Copies of this chain bind each other. A is one copy, B any other.
């Protein structure tokens, strides 16, 4: 089946690298240096430089900071929320990142489809249950949810992290679905081969 219908990476114009503001181009080149390619989310969101800057500032504040959640746990939230929102970009791209961080070629597909069946710890199940509640039914959050997470060893600051990552990717999934953002080919395979570990 040739990709007769291969969608563009975005419904909107994708700016050329040479036309971008210097700070945005620098950010892209930095990612390319590290990952070997520029993830499509950078290219597509660069259509709006101010929103691009705020988006990645928010992303970095949540995903790069120190804290009680491991990098793999943060990516688990992203993948579970992407599954709930039927967002192919985040499911595939962050699935790749989760495989790399977790050094586990199976966990991303498991968490994205049904975290209750995934090979994760009870603490991580509680984390994902809450992240999905923030994503799907945030208006129903009550004191008992906090107590459940405390019982698994999460602090209030961890809970803020879980909730804000879930909320941020609720935004991200909606934007990706709005513009029809498609994952780079590289993401589908990344972290699946034994030699990569």
Contact = CB atoms under 8 A, between A and B. Distances in A.
A107 interface: yes
A167 B174 contact: yes
Contacts of A82: 113
B117 A91 contact: no
B139 A51 contact: no
A35 interface: no
A100 to B, nearest CB: 11
A193 B189 contact: yes
A85 to B, nearest CB: 6
B72 A86 contact: no
A125 B11 CA distance: 19
Contact of A1 (B61, B107, B109, B182): B107
B120 A178 contact: no
A185 interface: yes
B182 A192 contact: no
Interface stretch (A2-10, A14-22, A23-31): A2-10
A164 interface: yes
Interface string A116-156: 11111110000000000011001111100010000000001
A122 B5 CA distance: 9
A40 interface: no
Given A12-B156, A167-B171, A170-B171, A5 B116 contact: no
- Top 8 nearest A-B pairs (CB, nearest first) are A86-B139, A54-B58, A167-B174, A138-B177, A163-B178, A54-B57, A171-B171, A50-B61
Interface of A: 1, 3-7, 11-12, 47-48, 50-51, 53-55, 57-58, 61-62, 65, 72, 82-83, 85-88, 91-92, 102-107, 109-110, 112-114, 116-122, 134-135, 138-142, 146, 156, 159-160, 163-164, 166-168, 170-175, 177-180, 182-183, 185, 188-189, 192-193
